[in-house]
């Protein structure tokens, strides 16, 4: 067991060093970087790594959250608590503002996840952010498997898979024209299990909803959805109280929970290690739309 | 941090590479149920009877439409022993760019051959690129063994064909595994259909291959990435690119040339570190307040990288928009240093299939590889790529498009050929040379000791150069065979080269079977006549041990009568009568033996300088 733990740690050390190298590279080469921070586990790990990369100095970047207005209140509380604790600067782009002034219209199905792209790109442009850190991992989805660590977005914020730059050794090319920006993914080489092992090793606090708790939920498309401002059960769907947890945390309208008794980090690791479903496959309705769902959204400028 | 193995896979469309990776993920239970369900659905849609494991790795829509892979895709899987990152690259010649990208960070390259066919040009290119990119371990999977009736003869035939070809390359570690990716034979579990195969399964090999010693722990290199300032704190952040740093070490800052001491080292988040080595990201504090910034490099005063504006390098051209041509200007990025560079000449273009060098080439197009000379605006702080991948690699960036247009591997500082005039006396040269001559049977361990010896001498600031008998037979002695006369000529030539090197002030480290006493004595006499030290080391490994090791399968072939005149089998080896040193296996590993040679060398009286 000790040996297995050492091995696990050796792997995490290598991943941690790689991520920190990436943070420092961006700090050395860009003028206005920003970290996308939602309070979810990947962005919390991202922030933790940034804090470690620049110790003892504060993180030299601002944080940005695109709030759909359909977020879990526990996560928003957590987000604000973390920001306050580390004395960070957080910008929030509210999707509601874009709907209110007509730049966006609500979708008939009520989900706001696809609506995040426009506020994100508008905010990046307004603030002239040139490097945008995201918590994306290549193991999440097939289209992400080809994503670079430094991923250039054109002046429309779009990703062009055929025009990606070759990325060699640890020599990252972040050069861009005015108006373009670079998405940076320090967790590219991490898997879901790596993230959880790292959370355990570093004792990183997360929103409670990642751990098993009781909640009123209803079943749709094989996922447990919670009732909220985004809607609730339709005909034939009934609310029931179950012990569940969330594997990913996104817009409440399309983020499903899984049945789980994993109340501690160790329980979660055991559950993830034994799981036969990817986290997105299990809990994200938005990725199920079509075989190329994620690729299409990425081209448009999604995270 | 060795428990992460990065591997690059390459193969042509029909070799079954995607199937092999899919099989590796499937049999090691890394494929998730939803992914498998999606593949089964897609396979049915395409009218296929069984889940097409290749669909797991063919990511982008265009690829699915064309049925090919068009970019580097990264895959992850883990076993209780190791985590693996697969850089999966397509095999087409037009995607050399992607193979180079995937190979740049790899510890191991996996090459697939189709057991039914002769070795494809593509596979030769992949092997060449793997060695060019300095990947230390090469695993050749001979796939589709089921279609050749699990034939041992066929496997061995292909293995020999590949070995003959790979002799032209410097492959440090080469392994062959017969597999059937479709049926899973020898992928995760040993195959029941090939009882004659005595090696391990592919996965087992990947779990066990020793990679921690691939890192350069000799040459301390710390490219400064970012300066962390906070109140009165000032620390230099970066990733260790070579060697080991400890608090208290005396260090040299380049290019300024100031020396100071490391007063503290912190890991991520301020954890104190007693030893920092590659690839750790750390922060150094220096005892003196110096002007150090991004792009500077911290090393040890007695072991510094090259500092120069003129470098020779192999480059791979990565873009279809424009060619590399002499006089073109680029931005060059080497470690954390960025400056401008001009290509002063294109020495040759390499045909990566035939390894032919075209010296008349005037430009490099997409996917072409050649050797160039670069002149940079600011000096680069570099090592040769083969010695240190982190300090010897660079990219060229086009200044108008901002695209990465070339990957470069520095071979060394550019030098015009200078013939030392005899007016320079030996005492005026920086160091005193001599020759260390390692003789012994094939597979006795000579070359391994010699490599370690060269590395240690150079690390200690003593110029040294390895003359390896096998390697010299590719160039200087390519025209010689293995008859007694040819062997004598082989020894004479190597002896002459060693003598010249020793005269130039280097320690010439020779690794050569050199079976006959008379030939070795002639080399010794030539050295003595020139007033140069000749240090004969007999690597006295018993033939049973050599034969058990047999890394190239030569003893087996000699015993089977396939080759004749093989030293120790049907040709005599004459042990040295009075060697300066004898090394036997019980004295320790190659590193220990190299240390013994250096200790003995230090005790030897220096030749007279007059």
Full DSSP string of B105-138: T-SEEEEEEETTSPPPHHHHHHHHHHHHTT-SEE
Output the CA angle B426-B430-B435, nearest 5 degrees: 65
Q: Which residues of B are catalytic?
A: 514
Percent of chain B with pLDDT over 70: 87
* Residue B230 to residue A165, Cβ atoms within 8 A: no
Nearest by Cα to B280 from A18, A198, A174, A247 = A18
Chain A residues touching residue B237 (CB < 8 angstroms): 24, 53-54
**For residues A143-168, average pLDDT:** 83
What pLDDT digit, counting tens, does each position of B198-254 carry? 999 999 999 999 988 888 889 999 999 999 999 999 999 999 999 999 999 999 999
Q: Are strands A131-133 and A33-36 parallel, antiparallel or unpaired?
A: parallel
Residue intervals of chain B classified under CATH 2.40.30.10 are 221-299, 306-413
Return the residue matching tokens 């959370």: A199
What pLDDT digit, counting tens, does each position of B116-146 carry? 998 888 888 889 999 999 999 999 999 999 9
A214, β-bridge pairs: A243
Residue B511 has pLDDT above 60, yes or no: yes
* Residue A24 to residue B32, Cβ atoms within 8 A: no
Name residues whose C-beta falls within 8 Å of residue A16's C-beta, 6 or more positions apart in sequence. Answer: A49, A52, A198, B268, B281
Domains of chain A: 2-194+292-300 (3.40.50.620), 207-287 (no CATH)
The whole-angstrom separation of Cα A165 and Cα A152 is 8
Cβ of residue A182 closer than 8 Å to a chain B Cβ? no
**For residues A82-108, average pLDDT:** 93
**Contacts with B, A 36-95, CB within 8 Å:** 49, 51-58
Cβ of residue A236 closer than 8 Å to a chain B Cβ? no
For residue B23 the two structure tokens come to 């099989």
Place A45 in a pLDDT band, splitting at 50, 70 and 90.
Answer: very high
Name residues whose C-beta falls within 8 Å of residue A84's C-beta, 6 or more positions apart in sequence. Answer: none
Residue of A nearest to B227 (CA): A28
Residue A288 has pLDDT above 70, yes or no: no
**For residues A44-72, average pLDDT:** 95
Alpha-carbon gap: A169 to the closest alpha carbon of chain B (Å): 5
Cβ of residue B38 closer than 8 Å to a chain A Cβ? yes
What pLDDT digit, counting tens, does each position of B347-357 carry? 999 998 888 89
Output the CA angle B596-B215-B333, nearest 5 degrees: 130
Class of domain B221-299: mainly beta
Least confident of A20-24, A120-124, A251-255: A251-255
The whole-angstrom separation of Cα B445 and Cα B546 is 8
Nearest by Cα to B5 from B111, B89, B108 = B108
Place A1 in a pLDDT band, splitting at 50, 70 and 90.
Answer: very low
Cβ of residue B402 closer than 8 Å to a chain A Cβ? yes
Nearest by Cα to B239 from A171, A32, A60 = A171
* Residue A166 to residue B101, Cβ atoms within 8 A: yes
**For residues A284-292, average pLDDT:** 47
What pLDDT digit, counting tens, does each position of B521-566 carry? 889 888 888 888 899 999 999 998 898 888 888 888 888 888 878 8
| Contact (CB, 8 A) for A249 and A75 | yes
Name residues whose C-beta falls within 8 Å of residue A145's C-beta, 6 or more positions apart in sequence. Answer: A138, A139, B59, B73, B74, B75
The whole-angstrom separation of Cα B226 and Cα B236 is 6
| Contact (CB, 8 A) for B134 and B407 | no
Residue of A nearest to B42 (CA): A291
| Contact (CB, 8 A) for B294 and B395 | no
* Residue A52 to residue B98, Cβ atoms within 8 A: no
Could you give the C-alpha distances from B427 to A63, B424, B524, B601, in angstroms and in order?
A: 64, 8, 22, 19
**Contacts with A, B 11-30, CB within 8 Å:** none
Residue A234 has pLDDT above 90, yes or no: no
Return the CATH number of B3-214, one of 3.40.50.300, 3.30.10.20, 1.10.287.3510, 1.10.1200.10. 3.40.50.300
Q: Is B104 annotated as a binding residue?
A: no
**Contacts with A, B 71-90, CB within 8 Å:** 71-76, 78, 80-83, 85
Q: What is the CATH number of domain B431-603?
A: 3.40.50.300
pTM: 0.75
DSSP A168: B
* Residue B72 to residue A28, Cβ atoms within 8 A: no
- pLDDT recorded at residue A120: 94
What pLDDT digit, counting tens, does each position of B290-309 carry? 889 999 999 999 899 999 99
Cβ of residue B94 closer than 8 Å to a chain A Cβ? no
The whole-angstrom separation of Cα B150 and Cα B153 is 9
> Any alpha helices (H) in B408-505, and if so which ranges?
446-459, 469-472, 484-503
Residue B375 has pLDDT above 70, yes or no: yes
**For residues B159-180, average pLDDT:** 90
Q: Is B441 annotated as a binding residue?
A: yes
> Any alpha helices (H) in A115-248, and if so which ranges?
117-126, 192-202
Cβ of residue B97 closer than 8 Å to a chain A Cβ? yes
* Residue B35 to residue A281, Cβ atoms within 8 A: yes
- pLDDT recorded at residue B33: 62
Chain A residues touching residue B229 (CB < 8 angstroms): 57
Residue intervals of chain B classified under CATH 3.40.50.300 are 3-214, 431-603
Chain A residues touching residue B268 (CB < 8 angstroms): 16-17, 20, 49, 52-53, 55
Supply the ipTM of this predicted assembly: 0.89
- A94-110 in b/e burial notation, b at 16+ Cβ within 10 A? ebbebbeeeebeeeeee
* Residue B390 to residue A177, Cβ atoms within 8 A: no
Return the CATH number of B306-413, one of 3.10.450.350, 3.40.50.300, 3.40.50.1000, 2.40.30.10. 2.40.30.10
Helix (H) or strand (E) holding B397: strand B393-397
């Amino acid at each position: 067991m000790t040996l297995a733990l050492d091995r696990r740690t050796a792997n995490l050390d290598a991943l941690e060093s790689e991520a920190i190298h990436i943070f420092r590279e961006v700090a050395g080469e860009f003028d206005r970087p920003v970290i996308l921070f939602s309070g979810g586990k990947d962005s919390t790990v991202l922030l933790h790594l940034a804090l470690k990369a620049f110790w003892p100095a504060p993180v030299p970047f601002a944080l940005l959250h695109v709030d759909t207005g359909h977020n879990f209140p526990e996560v928003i509380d957590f987000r604000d608590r973390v920001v306050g604790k580390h004395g960070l600067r957080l910008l929030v782009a509210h999707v509601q503002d874009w709907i209110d002034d007509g730049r966006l219209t609500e979708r008939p199905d009520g989900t706001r996840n696809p609506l995040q792209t426009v506020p994100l790109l508008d905010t990046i442009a307004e603030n002239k952010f040139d490097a945008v850190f995201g918590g994306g991992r290549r193991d999440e989805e097939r289209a992400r498997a080809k994503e670079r660590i430094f991923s250039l977005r054109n002046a429309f914020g779009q990703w062009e898979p055929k025009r990606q730059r070759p990325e060699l050794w640890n020599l990252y090319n972040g050069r861009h024209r005015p108006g373009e920006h670079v998405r940076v993914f320090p967790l590219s080489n991490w898997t879901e299990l790596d993230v959880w092992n790292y959370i355990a090793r570093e004792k990183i606090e997360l929103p409670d909803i990642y751990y098993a708790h009781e909640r009123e939920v209803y079943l749709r498309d094989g996922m447990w959805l919670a009732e909220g401002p985004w809607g609730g059960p339709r005909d034939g769907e009934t609310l029931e109280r179950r012990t569940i947890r969330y594997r990913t945390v996104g817009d409440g309208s399309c983020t499903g929970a899984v049945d789980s008794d994993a109340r501690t980090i160790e329980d979660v690791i055991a559950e993830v290690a034994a799981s036969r479903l990817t986290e997105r496959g299990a809990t994200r309705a938005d990725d199920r739309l079509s075989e190329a769902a994620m690729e299409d959204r990425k081209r448009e400028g999604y995270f | 941090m060795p428990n992460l193995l990065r591997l690059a896979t390459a193969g042509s469309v029909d070799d079954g590479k995607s199937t092999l990776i899919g099989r590796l993920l499937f049999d090691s239970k890394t494929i998730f149920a939803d992914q498998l369900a999606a593949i089964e659905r897609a396979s049915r849609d395409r009218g296929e009877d069984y889940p097409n494991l290749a669909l797991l790795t063919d990511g982008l829509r265009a690829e699915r439409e064309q049925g090919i892979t068009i970019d580097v895709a990264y895959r992850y899987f883990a076993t209780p022993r190791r985590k693996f990152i697969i850089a999966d690259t397509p095999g087409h010649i037009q995607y050399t760019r992607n193979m180079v990208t995937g190979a740049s960070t790899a510890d191991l390259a996996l090459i697939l051959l189709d057991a039914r066919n002769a070795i494809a040009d593509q596979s030769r290119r992949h092997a060449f690129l793997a060695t060019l990119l300095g990947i230390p371990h090469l695993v050749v999977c001979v796939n589709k063994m089921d279609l050749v009736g699990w034939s041992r003869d066929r496997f061995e035939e292909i293995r020999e064909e590949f070995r003959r070809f790979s002799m032209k390359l410097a492959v440090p570690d080469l392994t062959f595994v017969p597999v059937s990716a479709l049926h899973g034979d020898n992928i995760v579990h040993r195959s029941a259909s090939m009882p004659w195969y005595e090696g391990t399964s592919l996965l087992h090999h990947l779990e066990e291959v020793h990679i921690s010693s691939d890192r350069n722990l000799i040459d301390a290199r710390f490219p400064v990435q970012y300066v962390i300032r906070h109140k009165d704190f000032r620390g230099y952040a970066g990733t260790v690119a070579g060697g080991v740093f400890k608090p208290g070490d005396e260090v040299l800052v380049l290019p300024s040339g100031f020396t100071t001491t490391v007063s503290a080292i912190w890991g991520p988040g301020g954890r104190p570190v007693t030893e920092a080595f590659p690839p750790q990201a750390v922060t150094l504090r220096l005892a003196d307040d110096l002007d150090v910034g991004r792009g500077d490099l911290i090393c040890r005063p007695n072991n510094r990288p090259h500092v120069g504006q003129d470098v020779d390098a192999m480059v791979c051209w990565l873009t279809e928009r424009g060619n590399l041509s002499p006089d073109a200007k680029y931005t060059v990025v080497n470690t954390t240093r960025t400056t401008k560079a001009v290509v002063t000449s294109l020495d040759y273009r390499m045909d990566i299939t035939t390894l032919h060098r075209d010296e008349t080439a005037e430009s490099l197009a997409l996917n072409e590889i050649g050797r160039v000379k670069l002149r940079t605006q600011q000096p680069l702080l570099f090592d040769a790529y083969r010695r240190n991948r982190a300090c010897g690699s660079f990219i060229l960036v086009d200044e108008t498009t901002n695209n990465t247009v070339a990957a470069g591997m520095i071979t060394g500082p550019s030098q015009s050929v200078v013939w030392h005039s005899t007016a320079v006396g030996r005492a005026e040269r920086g160091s005193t040379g001599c020759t260390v001559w390692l003789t012994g049977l094939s597979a006795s361990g000579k070359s391994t000791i010699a490599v370690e010896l060269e590395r240690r001498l150079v690390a200690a600031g003593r110029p040294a150069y390895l003359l390896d008998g096998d390697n010299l037979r590719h160039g200087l002695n390519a025209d010689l065979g293995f008859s007694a006369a040819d062997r004598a000529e082989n020894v004479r030539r190597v002896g002459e080269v060693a003598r010249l090197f020793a005269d130039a002030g280097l320690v010439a480290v020779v690794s050569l079977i050199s079976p006959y006493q008379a030939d070795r004595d002639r080399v010794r006499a030539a050295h003595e006549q020139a007033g140069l030290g000749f240090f004969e080391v007999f690597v006295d490994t018993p033939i049973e041990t050599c034969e058990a090791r047999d890394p190239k399968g030569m003893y087996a072939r000699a015993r089977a009568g396939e080759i004749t005149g093989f030293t120790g089998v049907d040709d005599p080896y004459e042990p040295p009568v009075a060697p300066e040193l004898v090394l036997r296996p019980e004295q320790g590993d190659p590193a220990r033996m190299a240390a013994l040679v250096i200790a003995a060398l230090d005790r030897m009286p220096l030749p007279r300088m007059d």
